[in-house]
Each structure stands twice: as structure tokens, then as C-alpha cells.
Amino acid sequence: MTTTTYDDNDARADRVAAWATGVGAGLVVFMVSWLVSNRVLTMYLAVPMGPVAAMTVAIVTGAAVTVRQGRRLSARFRD
């Protein structure tokens, strides 16, 4: 029977993997929110304003999901 030890390097690797997963989730939300909000806002706003507002919505939602998921997933690996 072999036993494994869990050291600080493993915890750091797990934190990095958790944040990478959070970034991936944030990018997915960014892409989907850009596609949906661009379609919707372009119907109601003029051409230069619609895509700019859609990009703003996409950046905010993508960043919020990235931070939320990164913090949530890495919380169990904090010191």
C-alpha cells in the first residue's frame, strides 16, 4: 500500500487549475453573452452603440463569472 502526501506545491497547482477553470467558464459566458446581447441590443440601438453596449455587457459578465468561479473553486485550497 502506498501513501501519498499533499504538499504546498500540490496546493498551488490545484489553485492554478481552479483559476484556469474559472477563466474558461468566464470566456464561455463572455462569448455567449456577446452573441445574445449583440443580437438584442442591435435591434434597439443604433449601429455604433449596439455592439459597443453588447461588448460592455459581455466584458462585465465574463469578468464577473471568472472572478466568482475562480474564487469559489480555489476556496478549498486556501491556506
Domain ranges, ordered by start, for the chain: 29-71
Grid cell of 25 as nine digits:
467558464
| pLDDT number for residue 14 | 87
Note the pLDDT tens digit of each residue in 35-66. 999 999 999 998 889 999 999 999 999 999 99
Helix, strand, coil percentages for the chain (3-state, nearest 5): 85, 0, 15
pLDDT of residue 5: 65
User: Where residue 9 falls among pLDDT bands split at 50, 70, 90?
Assistant: confident
Residue 79 CA to residue 61 CA, distance in Å, equals 29
* DSSP single-letter state for residue 45: S
Cell numbers placing 5:
502526501
User: Structure pTM?
Assistant: 0.81
Average per-residue pLDDT for the chain: 89
**Which among 76, 28, 22, 33 is positioned nearest to 58, based on CA atoms?**
33
